[in-house]
Amino acid sequence: MSIIKEYINHKNNLNEKILSVFLTSGFPCKESFPELALKIFETGADILEIGFPFSDPLADGPIIQSSSYQALQKGINLTATFNYVSEIRKHTDKPIILMGYANPVLSYGVSRFAQQAKASGVNGIIIPDVPIEEYEDFFSSYFLGLDIILLITPTTTDERIKLIDEKSSGFVYCVSVSGTTGLHHQNKTAGIEFIKRAQNTISKNKMLAGFGISNGDDANAFTRYCDGVIVGSAIIKSLMDDDNKYSSTIKLVKSFKQSLLKS
CA torsion sign for 22, 27, 33, 35 is: negative
Tell me the C-alpha distance between 221 and 235, whole Å.
19
Residues whose CB is less than 8 angstroms from the CB of residue 249 and which lie 6 or more positions away in sequence, other chains included:
40, 235, 238, 239, 242
Q: Is 49 a catalytic residue?
A: yes
Q: Is 60 a catalytic residue?
A: yes
Helices (H), the chain: 3-13, 33-43, 62-73, 78-89, 102-108, 110-120, 135-138, 158-167, 189-201, 216-222, 233-241, 247-262
Catalytic position from the list 46, 49, 165, 227: 49
Q: Check: CB of residue 95 under 8 Å from CB of residue 47.
A: yes
Catalytic position from the list 16, 46, 60, 227: 60
Q: Check: CB of residue 36 under 8 Å from CB of residue 246.
A: yes
- Estimate the crossing angle of helix 233-241 against helix 62-73, to 10 degrees: 60
Catalytic residues, which ones? 49, 60
